[in-house]
A = this chain, B = another copy of it.
Amino acid sequence: MTEALTPEAPVISDAAGTAGQAPENPAAGRVPLTPEELEAAVHAIADRSRKAARRLGQANRAWKDRALRAIGTALLANRKHVLEANAKDVAVGRANGTSAALLDRLTLTPERIDGLVAALENLAGLPDPVGNVVRGQTLPNGLRLRQVNVPMGVVAAIYEARPNVTVDIAGLALKSGNAVILRGGSAAANTNEALVRILRDALDSVGLPADAVQTVDQYGREGANVLMRARGRVDVLIPRGGRELIQTVVTNSSVPVIETGEGNVHIFIDESADEEMAVEILLNAKTQRPSVCNTVETLLVHSGSKVLPAVAAALRKAGVTLHVDDRIAAALGNGVETVPADDHDWATEYMDLDLAVAMVDSLDDAVKHIRKWTTGHTEAILTNNLANAERFIAEIDSAAVIVNASTRFTDGGELGLGAEVGISTQKLHARGPMGLTELTTTKWIVQGEGQVRG
């Protein structure tokens, strides 16, 4: 599941000179390039990426898995070097007054590196999405038809100061036969430089093209902008990070984008919901990991339900600040501490131990509230009423609609996808948790023996 940053200006800075590969122009990062030179340099990277993608696209699963394991081995062998590079970035971040949350995302530890290696090993154990036959038939005229998954080709990722994404997205791209171009931001420049070098060396060590992993970090913000406009050269762009980063990419990109992550998630407690279930699910959905996108942010309670006091008390006891409307405040009375909510609260993805709570008089009102404020990620209903469950499923237009379970299940791993590229909140191509297959496209293969069209 994608961890979103707290909203903050996108970390697309002008810092340069941290390439994981030799720049085309040796002056890059020292002497400012003209816009034309910069565009040519980024296009050259994309063109090398295309070449690498063609070789990678022909590699069988065993070969790709060998590369994933070689990366894991190299990460462990170079752990000290990576941690030293990371310490430099963290020190710079601290000196610049970076927030504790951001510093936490920026920081690698020996255990986090172990986690990256374990994820690579997990990836190596997954089936190859490439070559999967989506559908096929023999047509009346004898033509044999197959639609098969093939790699996208060149995948670009733009993300903020999270060096784990460098390894994560490179591994996912590699397994699905894609070359990847990374833009990881200046805050993690030293770490990413070290990681990209390890990735490239590991690819090379198993005979796959090192250019399957490249970065444009050395070309700063302008490099990222060229990448976003490189339609035709880049097949898909995946931004990972906070709202502003994603909006910047969506607005400026002519390359097709898969939007991920923002989750203003709702739970509606219907009149018939069971109290114990409601308490357990709310505690899980709000407090198990509040900083992630599938955590609940607004609770809607049916005015006929009796479970509010127990749910509110349990959440308070768990340290959750309740931002409530007037009716909830009145219903709870003085026994439970609350703060007043306004429209800002209905719109906010707190990603913290905060929950907006509103009272509604019907399923219709709950649906209306959700339609107004949702980001289309995940919504849940807690109910014992079959008709209401069916209506909620039919009328809520979100990537995941859940009945009587925690919203924390909207996650590629939990839903059995094996690995997760992110959670798409758009409708095109992929919606909800994205697995490896969502990093592929399809190709129609038609085989005949001379058929022509009548």
CB within 8 Å of B: which residues of A?
A: 54, 57-58, 137, 139, 143, 145, 147, 150, 152-153, 231, 235-236, 250-251, 254, 256-258, 274, 276-277, 280-281, 283-285, 288, 389, 393-395, 397-406, 408-411, 414-416, 426-429, 431-433, 441-453
Question: A141 CB to closest chain B CB, in angstroms?
Answer: 9
Residue of B nearest to A427 (CB): B441
Q: Is B251's CB under 8 angstroms from A254's CB? A: yes
Among A150, A411, A443, the one with the most B-chain Cβ atoms within 10 Å of its Cβ is A443
Q: Is A415's CB under 8 angstroms from B427's CB? A: no
Q: Is A401's CB under 8 angstroms from B443's CB? A: yes
Given A400-B446, A404-B448, A427–B395 Cβ distance below 8 Å? no
Q: Is A404's CB under 8 angstroms from B236's CB? A: no
Given A395-B54, A427-B236, A404–B443 Cβ distance below 8 Å? no
Sorted nearest first, the 3 A-B pairs with minimum C-beta distance are A405-B448, A284-B452, A427-B441
Q: Is A139's CB under 8 angstroms from B58's CB? A: no
Q: Which residues of B contact A414 (CB under 8 A)?
A: 139, 453
Given A58-B395, A153-B397, A236-B427, A143–B405 Cβ distance below 8 Å? yes
Q: Which residues of B contact A280 (CB under 8 A)?
A: 450, 452
Question: A259 CB to closest chain B CB, in angstroms?
Answer: 9
Question: A347 CB to closest chain B CB, in angstroms?
Answer: 14
Q: Can you show 11 pairs from A to B with CB atoms below 8 A apart?
A: A143-B405, A145-B416, A280-B450, A285-B452, A397-B443, A400-B445, A404-B448, A405-B448, A414-B453, A428-B441, A432-B442
Q: Is B444's CB under 8 angstroms from A400's CB? A: yes
Given A250-B254, A452-B284, A453-B284, A393–B145 Cβ distance below 8 Å? no
Question: A152 CB to closest chain B CB, in angstroms?
Answer: 5
Q: Which residues of B contact A394 (CB under 8 A)?
A: 58
Residue of B nearest to A424 (CB): B441
Q: Is B399's CB under 8 angstroms from A443's CB? A: yes
Residue in B399, B415, B443 whose beta carbon sits within 8 Å of that of A431 in the complex: B443
Residue of B nearest to A451 (CB): B405
Residue in B281, B427, B446 whose beta carbon sits within 8 Å of that of A450 in the complex: B281
Q: Which residues of B contact A427 (CB under 8 A)?
A: 152-153, 235-236, 256, 441
Among A58, A152, A389, A394, the one with the most B-chain Cβ atoms within 10 Å of its Cβ is A394
Q: Which residues of B contact A409 (CB under 8 A)?
A: 143, 446, 451, 453
